[in-house]
Structure formats: C-alpha cells, structure tokens
Amino acid sequence: MSVRQHEKAGRRRAFRLVGLGLILFGCLLRVLDPYPVRMSRLIYFDVLQRLSPRAFDPDLPVRVVDIDETSLENWGQWPWPRTLLTQMVERLGEYGAASIAFDMLFAEPDRYSPSRLLSDPALADILSAKEEAAQLDNDILFGAEVSNWPVVMGVAARLTGGDQDIAPKAGIVEIGENPAAGLVSVPHWTPLAPPLDRDATGIGGVNVSPLGGTGVVRRVPVLWQGPSGVLPGLGLEALRVATGEPVIFIEGAQGESGIVLSVELAGLVLPTTENGEVWVRYRPDDPGLYLSANDILQSADDPVLRSQIEGRIVLIGTSAAGLFDMHQTALGESVPGVSIHAQVIEQALLGDMLTRSDVTAALELLAFIILGVVVTVVMSSFGAVASFMAGGIAAAVVVGVSWLAFQNQSVLFDATFPLAGGMANFGLLSGYLFISTEREKRVIRRIFSHYVAPEILDEMDATGHELQLGGETQEITVMFSDIRGFTPLSERVSATDLVALLNELFSVIGDRILHEKGTIDKFIGDAVMAFWNAPVPVERHPLLAAQAALQMRRALAEFNASDTMRGHPPIALATGCATGMACVGNIGSRRRFNYTVIGDVVNVAARIEQSCRQVEYDILISSSVSQAAGADLAMLEAGLVHLKGKTELEPIFALVGDSALAHNADFRKLQEMHQDLITAIRARRAHDEIQRLSEACSAQAGLVEPGLRAFYAALPGRSADFRFDIRSGQAMFSHHGNVHRFPG
C-alpha cells in the first residue's frame, strides 16, 4: 500500500469510528426511549392510520344507542330517571340485543325515586303520597329489569376509595407466569348502586385510557387489575356477555411474571401490550353506528330498529357536548368514549388487531443500525452525495417495510427512529467531513503555497485531490493535437495578434476536451496535450477522447468560418490518440511540481499525431483506442506506421465519425469498399486496380467525410504500410472487433 493509500485508509478508519460512536449513542437513546422519541413514534403511527383508516362495516353486530342532544331535549336533562332507562333496557331486550352495555356510571341511587323524594325533610311538607308510593324505588325497578336481560354495567377507575367492593362477573384464567400482575392497576372503582351490582350480568371498566391519561387515545386497556381482582374493560365484557362465555383467558410470557401477550375470548385472540392494552385500528366515526335514544324510547315495535338491534351488541353512551365524554383518536377526530369501546369490539370480531411486539422494536433498532452503517460507510468511501443517495434508498426501504407491515400484517413498525437517526447521523457526519476537509485544505495551502503552481492549488481545493510528489500507474488515454498551417499564419499576423488568435483557438479546443471529461495537461507552442481517466476515473475514456477529437474537428471548422479568421488562411489540426498504462500524478521538484502523465503511451500518442501528415488525415487513433471504443465510432484501417523510438510497428485507424455515422448506410458501403481496397493491396494486385478502387472509395467518401479524399489519394503510395510483415510474417488488425490476417 502506498503512502497516499495508507493515509486515506487512516482517515477513512477515523471517520468510521466517529460514525460508529454516533450509532452507539443512537442505540442508547432508543433503549432509554425518552419522551420525544416516544411521541415521534406515536405520531408516526397516527399518520399510518390516517393514510389508511379502517372502513366502517355496517354488517358488524355492534351498535351504539346515543343519548344525543335531541334525546336530552325531548326527555330532559341528564341524569334521567332510571324509569326511563328501565324502559330503554326493556325495549332493547325485546328487540333482541345480544348484550346491552352502559358506558355510564350508576354510582348513586336515583334521586327521582319516590322513596327518596318523600323521605327528603325539605319536601315532606310539600309532597304527600300513599303509603305504597313511599316504598317505590326506581333502582329496584331498574335492577329487576336489568336482571331480565344480558346487561353490562360500567364502573370507572378512581384514586380515592369507597365502601363498596366491586366483584367482577367474568372468570379469569391465567396462562403463564402470573400475567395479571402486569395489568394496568386501578386503586379503586366507583361504586355501583344496589341492586345493580347484583342484578347485572356483567361489569366492565368504562375508562378508555389508564387513570390520569390525557390526549390522544391510541391504546385501550381490555383488562384491569382492581382491588378485587381482574375486571374486563367495557367492550370486552360486552363481548363476553354476548357470546355467553363465562371465562376470559390471559396468556402471559413463560418464565417472566407480569407480561401479558394476548387475551382470548370465545376463540377470538386479542394481541395486547405487556400491560393488557390493545392498539385501536381506528376508522372514521360513522353515523351508521349510532341509534338515537329518542327513537328507542318513542318506538313501539319498529321493524327497522329491530333489524338494527337484533343479535347485536348494543352500547349505551352519549355524544352530548355537555356530558364531557369526548376523546381524541389517532385519526384526529373527537368521538364519544362509547365509540372507542365499539371499535375495540369491531376489531376483535374482525380479527384485525394492531400488534407491536419486542421483536418489532428490535427490528427497528436493527434498521437504525443498518441505516447508520450505510450512511457512514458510503460517506467515508464515496462522499456525502453518494451517502445521501444510499441513505435515501435505505430510508425508502425502511418506510416501505413499515407501510407494508401496517397494511398487510397490521404490525406497527416505527420508521421514525431509523429515519431520524439516519438523518442525524448523516448531518453530523457531513459536518465532521466538512470541518475535517476544510482543515486539511488550509493545512495543504499553508504548507505547499510556496512550492507549487497556484493553479494546482486551486484545482486541489476544488476537487479535494491530495498534493504529494510521485504518482500512480493506471490506464490513461492521451491526446496530442497540433496546428497545421501555423507557419503561413505566423508570417501574416503580428506576434500580439497571433497570441490572441491562439488563445481563442485553444479556448475553443479546450472547452471540447473538458466537455468530454478530459484533463488539459499543457499547451506547448501550437500544440495541446490532454489525457483522460485522471485525476478522476472516467468510464470508457478512450471513447470520450475520440469524441473530443471529433468535437474539436467541428469546432475548428466553425472557428475557420468566424470573423476572427477572416482574411487569414484556414487552420488545420492533426490529432493523435492512444491508450495505455502510464504514471500520473504530481511530478516535479519538491519546490514546484505539476500534475501530469508520463509513460510510453504519451510517446505513442505524439508519434501518431505526427503520422497524420504521412497518412493525410486529421485524426488518427491507436489500435488500443479502436478496440476499447468498438462499434461506437466510425473508423477505417489506416495501416501500420513506424513510430520513432519503437521497434514494433503500430496499427493505426482513421477516425471518421461518431456512432451515428458508424451506422450510416453510406459509411457502411464505404467500409465495404475500403475493405476491398485493403484486400487488393495485401494481395499485391496490379497498381491500376488499386488506383481504381482508391478512386472509387474517394468518390464514396465525398458522401461521408470529404476529408477522406486526401487520405485515399495518398493510400496507393502507402501500400507498403498495409503489407509489411510483422513477427511471424503475419500482420493482424482489429477492426470493429473482427480480426484480419494478411500475408506479407
């Protein structure tokens, strides 16, 4: 490994250590799970639900009897006398409700009971009644009606205690290591006015969130740990009573106490959090769920109401604004609490329960680590832009996995932490990269400003390339281009005007080289040297060099036709290109050096350019360029030339045009005619026949590239260039991938 490579590896290693430290910090943050991390996760889950909410299914056996504003206007303010509720229960029971659940509290006796009114000292002098009326109790009447039907009464969690002990109606079977110990704990329940506690078929907790919970309701406890044992939530208890099941099963973790995995009732499995809550998969609140209490109380035997109630679980609650039972959902809606209980029942019946396990959380952490590693490794190796693109692709995969998990499996996979962590990692590493790069640039400029050419420093600042003596060996394509007709021009133009003209010409030529990703090495008098594939690697650099030569030909034609050349003889360019291995880098003394390339390929390109005069064509390329470019260029064999300083002959090709010309019908015909001409030369046919074939090619060349006419005019005199023996007496040319052998 070179010193340069060793330094790069060291910086890359330090950079990755910084990235690893950021990843470890992110993992620690995820384990601690502070409030901002939790809230971003919950908000993301809300977004998922808003993008794809559950649809309302009117065929599901769940309805809500709503004590709405109309009901309050017609039947009086709340609380109603329990005689009205008795009438409602009777009506619902007769309509065939599978279960009737009250999302309201009956903590105190009915204040409208005749027995209470007549026993009130303040009313004793005003009211009078028969002795039988004094014995009437609305709670007893209500309880008697409740006992006739599958009714569930609601109780609420509270902090302060009471005298009454609420005994659960549901049987509980625990599977595992005491999972009930992990349920949401309730210090006390609100009392239930006698005899309702005795006469009700079921009792359930009406709270839709743990005690003290505020804000958006995302999870609802389906089981509570109360002072007298496990009590189901109102929705689960209504479902139990409707199915007639006496027992609810709680499945917990094996070997660990207080961890709830799921709740099972009548074959329905509800995946839960470890404390017995279910994630609610919300749908928009739908009017089809609700029946007005006013309609129930006013009806006699309504077939439409019967069809809406018969065989269904009926929850009784209120949407009246003044009764303060409205809650915010993940969809951003404000709905009655009874609607949330109804949606829990719907999910249980559909089996479409949102889940989120410890495995999911572990996969989220793994996604964060992978995203962080991708960002770190790519940035350390390829820079910030590539890291941004790679991180963006990885982030898109994470979001896609999260979305598919939600849509297809009802799994809540948090994409926010991997994304936020990846973005933070990218931002911090980008800052670190920027600071370290700027520091290195300042150090380089301070150290080398007295020793190197200013233009090299500017280039290094722009590209981040490192300044050091020496270079690296790699494949390079070199171009030499020399001005023909310069001497006559210099005789007609003053030195000042000549310099200005050359500068303008070289600007035009240089732009074409740079456009094709070339590096201009130097301008040498009336010649220019350029190379490709350094300092930045370039794919298919031989093709780009050839394309640059063609662009220079077109640019020169425009330059000769411009006002600058008016009154001057036209200028021609001779261009040679070759591809091979060379040493490229900053070469020179320790006090001053320049970025250049040295090697045999430089000499080959220079000698090929000098052969343009002999071949009578303006652009010649080596066989290495021809083989690398392939069918993307229009080329013709130009023979073998002896290069000064080399013992072996070099096959060369005339570069006629680009890929479009290579597929042109006229050029293809010229190729065939050219091949016939070369075959005749190699077969040592008569001079007259060779001359005739050459003239035919010249005529066809006029349709393709007029500059070839001089090439074909000189070709009969260069017959030896196509017949010279090489090595074992056979010369080999590669033309568009086809190998041609010919005798000497």
The SS3 call for residue 533 is coil
Query: What is each CA distance from 105 to 156, 180, 206, 234, in whole angstroms?
Result: 7, 25, 8, 12
Full 3-state SS string of 271-336: ECCCCCEEECCCCCCCHHHEEEHHHHHHCCCCHHHHHHHCCCEEEEECCCHHHCCEEEECCCCEEE
pLDDT at 674: 96
Q: Compute the distance between CA of residue 511 and CA of residue 613 in angstroms, rounded to an integer.
A: 25
pLDDT at 261: 94
Domain segments of the chain as ranges: 3-32+356-445, 62-111+144-350, 466-632, 666-744
* Distant-in-sequence, close-in-space partners of 396: CB < 8 Å, separation ≥ 6: none
Q: Beta partners for 229?
A: 226
* Distant-in-sequence, close-in-space partners of 175: CB < 8 Å, separation ≥ 6: 249, 250, 251, 252
10-29 tens-digit pLDDT: 667 777 787 788 888 888 88
pLDDT at 741: 40
527-575 tens-digit pLDDT: 999 999 887 788 899 999 999 999 999 999 999 999 888 888 889 999 9
Query: What is each CA distance from 718 to 286, 367, 638, in whole angstroms?
Result: 93, 69, 9
Q: Tokens standing for 46?
A: 């809300």
The SS3 call for residue 227 is coil
The SS3 call for residue 739 is strand
Nearest Cα to 295, choosing from 61, 68, 80? 68
The SS3 call for residue 198 is helix
Type of residue numbered 466? E
Q: Compute the distance between CA of residue 281 and CA of residue 354 in angstroms, rounded to an integer.
A: 6
The SS3 call for residue 137 is coil
pLDDT at 534: 81
The SS3 call for residue 714 is helix
Q: Compute the distance between CA of residue 226 and CA of residue 155 in angstroms, rounded to an integer.
A: 11
Report phi then psi at 284, rounded to 5.
-60, 140
Segments of the chain scoring below 50 in pLDDT: 1-3, 126-127, 131-135, 447-456, 726-744
Q: Compute the distance between CA of residue 316 and CA of residue 337 in angstroms, rounded to an integer.
A: 10
Q: Compute the distance between CA of residue 236 and CA of residue 150 in angstroms, rounded to an integer.
A: 14
pLDDT at 22: 83
Q: Compute the distance between CA of residue 530 and CA of residue 528 in angstroms, rounded to an integer.
A: 7
Output the pTM of the full model.
Answer: 0.59
Asked if 574 contacts 607 with a C-beta cutoff of 8 angstroms, the reply is: no
Query: What is each CA distance from 126 to 117, 136, 654, in whole angstroms?
Result: 10, 18, 125
Asked if 661 contacts 703 with a C-beta cutoff of 8 angstroms, the reply is: no
Q: Compute the distance between CA of residue 720 and CA of residue 652 in angstroms, rounded to an integer.
A: 14
Q: Compute the distance between CA of residue 417 and CA of residue 216 in angstroms, rounded to an integer.
A: 21
Kindly report whether the peptide bond that precedes residue 34 is cis, defined as omega within 30 degrees of 0: no
The domain 466-632 having CATH identifier 1.10.3720.10: the answer here is: no
Per-residue DSSP letter, 81: P
Type of residue numbered 560? N
